[in-house]
Structure 1
Amino acid sequence: MNVKVLVSGASVAGPALAYWLNRHGHEVTVVERAPVLRDSGYAVDFRGAAFDVLEGMGILDEVRGCETGMRGTDLVDEEGRKVGELPVEAFAGDLEVPKRELTRILHRITEADVRYVFGDSIDRIEQDDTGVHVGFERGEPATFDLVVGADGVYSTVRRLAFGPHDRFVRHLGMSGVGFTTANHLGLDHTGLLHSAPGRAVYLFSAADADRMTVSLSFATDSAALDLLERDRQQEIVRERLAGVGWVVPRLLEEMDGASDFLFASACQVEMDRWSDGRIVLVGDAGHCAAPTSGMGTSQALIGAHALARHLAASAGDHAAAFRAYEDELRPYVEENQKHGREAVAMFGG
């Protein structure tokens, strides 16, 4: 049965779902707020059943070819002296690749069969027995059989269909900033982690030998900081890391000119249900486990595959498909969210 599906979000969960839906014969449109395919994000890793999904998509070998090759992380004190070490698995999982490479691959294998609309976003959703009637910020209104929110922690689809973000986004007490800068520490597929109560500094270099990725984390009491202007976010970073030694003063200076500056809080998305009528959520939009879980990408891939599989088996009964999808995935998500909360302590939370 051909179903007309709108997917919001072109990062990982959205294109992965579009691949499987198209493979089952459905007509898929993906709308993405960014004007072009996103080239942001640092590294993503894969564990467990995510490998089966990549294999089923025929891209496992290609993804493996993009491996960062990280060799582990040294624990250092506030002067940069080594005091311990962590194995590569602590951060990189069983396989780690730059996120931009994964999104590029997912887009490439779907662009011929899936309609992508960049530079637009959903601004209205109404549903009835005939379908979901969707308004867009730029494009003309359209009606779809199903709408899927695969648009991240601050999902537009979730906000419009389920309610405001503060009903579902749970702050885990930590925020931070990420960016890249010159690799002035000479890191070679290795990382450095300084962690103390209320803060953490994590530095690594992998895919590009000349660049170093910087993560500066600190304890906070609200995820609302994510929505502030960059200037104010940078002020907060400086305030929270004032007095920290080692290379931190230099990093704070380099933060100002970073073109890939990203401020984000460690959050989880907790919902009693991931669907409402003809609308369903997948990936971080419905059940973010927090970056500290190390399972976000795997969860997105596995969830997309499960949702498409249940839709294909439901003979047009989307409500039954959504229930089966949630019944299958929720125990896995809850376990990952537990690990995400526990791991916050490693980063100073």
Structure 2
Amino acid sequence: MRILISGASVAGPVLAYWLTRHGFSVTVVERAPALRRTGGHAVDLFRPAMDISERMGVLPRVEERATGTNRMTLHREGSRRPVRADLSKIFGAASARHAEIMRDDLSEIYHDATRDDVEYVFGDSITEISPDGEVRFENAAPRRFDLVVGADGLHSNVRRLVFGEEPRSDTFIGAYFGVLTLPNVLGLDGELLIHVGVGRTAGMYGARHLGEARALFLFRSERELDCHHRDVPRQKELLRGAFAGMHAHVDRWLDELDRTPAFYFDSITQLRMDTWSRGRVTLVGDAGYSPGPAVGGSTSLAVVGAYVLAGELARAGGDHERAFPAYERVMAEHVRGSRAVALSAAKTLIPASPLGVWGLAQGARLISALPVVPGRALVRLTTRSARFHDSMTVPDHPPVPVVSGGRSDLGGGPGAK
């Protein structure tokens, strides 16, 4: 059975890995000419995603490439005394098994685990998907697939082609997120330097294996700003306006905007769709149910979603009419919980009042001062959703060859085992 996946970032390669282990033949098409090495930002893998990565045999590489950020120095805007906190204890309070890793590194690790068994087509994009499975591309000749999966992110091309623009499925949650790559002039190694003010938060960190650093920016906005997601000059203008005069550190980071080799900016938007599937097409990860970049654990959710989708297709013998609804049922609670996490995290990380700024600083100080077990208890008492990602349960899907249910010959292809 032939399955086409659009997107080679995180969800796409993870889905490809598990589909091939279940006997499907997989092709991944990616618009970029090669694996994206655009700087990216750090993402979190919580316990279920770590467990899935371990089953894939890539956990040692994930742990090797972890950022190693374990300390935080937090400056409140207008205060001269910083708060120093132990990030390892804060993460430990939120998750029993966790790794922070650069998104580009994670994408490379998952791709390397699949490249021998999966057909990757870089530098191309889907332009049309017919109900009978014929797919047209920008460059390649048309091909026929049994199923198509959109794993192509928040601004999914597959979602646009299949579901259209209406009704609107995106919900702006009142904030924006930006990341830029810059020289590690502060020599940060394992430390996050962060400045927090009312409605805005800026930070800088350096991963131990990187030669440069990342600056991140989060700011509140009561309304969606007039800015297309590919209008980089406008995005930089908005970022400068939101953080002007915050601190000399932040001013220096903003000075790098015109020199940075890599820049990312987007609204923090949740996708809320009644269904992620239509006909032979379904969506996985941010393409179908993004809880919001930077705040909702979207990377872990994407890894879990990819694993579940592959398993349900195998369980149904390739019959998408049974597998897609089962996949959506399993993921529904995880998606709802991740949305709640995102809303809570956005309120905490981008305080709306001076009291919120003070509370963020003091909460970080207190949790890092406590032993791990009392720290976890405090987190559970004060933040209902803090340990949600660790609580996600994932069905066991032992790899078994697909034996029935498809509309074409099953098994075979580069992914057959």
2:112 match: 108
Report the more deviating stretch, 270-279 or 167-176: 167-176
1:47 match: 46
User: Structure 1 165/216 Cα, relative in aligned 2: closer, same or farther at 3 Å?
Assistant: farther
Unaligned runs of 5+ in 1: none
Residue type of the alignment partner of 1:113: D
1:342 match: 344
TM alignment of 1:296-307, pairs within 5 A:
296-307=298-309
2:2 match: 4
1:162 match: 163
1:172-220 CA deviation, whole Å, 9 max, x = no partner? 1111321121222232211122222221111111234642210122223
TM alignment of 1:245-264, pairs within 5 A:
245-264=247-266
- Using the alignment, how far apart are the partners of 2:123 and 2:292 within structure 1? 27
2:88 match: 88
> TM (normalized to structure 2)?
0.78
- Using the alignment, how far apart are the partners of 1:122 and 1:21 within structure 2? 20
CA RMSD of aligned residues (A): 2.0
Report the more deviating stretch, 181-190 or 136-145: 181-190
2:25 match: 27
Report the more deviating stretch, 208-217 or 191-200: 208-217
1:205-261 CA deviation, whole Å, 9 max, x = no partner? 123464221012222322662425221211111222223223122211111110111
Determine if contact 2:193/2:204 at 8 Å carries over to the other structure: yes
User: Structure 1 81/136 Cα, relative in aligned 2: closer, same or farther at 3 Å?
Assistant: farther
2:61 equivalent to 1:62: yes
2:11 match: 13
Determine if contact 2:65/2:209 at 8 Å carries over to the other structure: no
Residue type of the alignment partner of 1:251: W
User: Structure 1 89/14 Cα, relative in aligned 2: closer, same or farther at 3 Å?
Assistant: farther
- Using the alignment, how far apart are the partners of 1:165 and 1:72 within structure 2? 45
- Using the alignment, how far apart are the partners of 1:335 and 1:253 within structure 2? 38
User: Structure 1 91/266 Cα, relative in aligned 2: closer, same or farther at 3 Å?
Assistant: farther
Residue 166 of structure 1, CA deviation: 7.2
Residue type of the alignment partner of 2:19: L
Higher strand share: 1
Determine if contact 1:73/1:88 at 8 Å carries over to the other structure: no
1:10-55 CA deviation, whole Å, 9 max, x = no partner? 0010011011111111111100000111113222221121122112
Q: SS at 1:250's partner residue?
A: helix
> TM (normalized to structure 1)?
0.92
- Using the alignment, how far apart are the partners of 2:307 and 2:135 within structure 1? 24
| Larger RCO of the pair (alpha carbons < 8 Å, separation 6+) | 2
1:179 match: 180
User: Structure 1 145/194 Cα, relative in aligned 2: closer, same or farther at 3 Å?
Assistant: same
Determine if contact 1:91/1:294 at 8 Å carries over to the other structure: no
Residue type of the alignment partner of 2:309: L
Q: SS at 2:130's partner residue?
A: strand
Determine if contact 1:226/1:263 at 8 Å carries over to the other structure: no
Residue type of the alignment partner of 1:264: D
Report the more deviating stretch, 232-241 or 5-14: 232-241
Determine if contact 1:124/1:136 at 8 Å carries over to the other structure: yes
Q: Which has the larger radius of gyration?
A: 2
Task: List 4+ stretches of structure 1 deviating above 6 A.
Answer: none
- Using the alignment, how far apart are the partners of 2:263 and 2:87 within structure 1? 27
Report the more deviating stretch, 320-329 or 194-203: 194-203
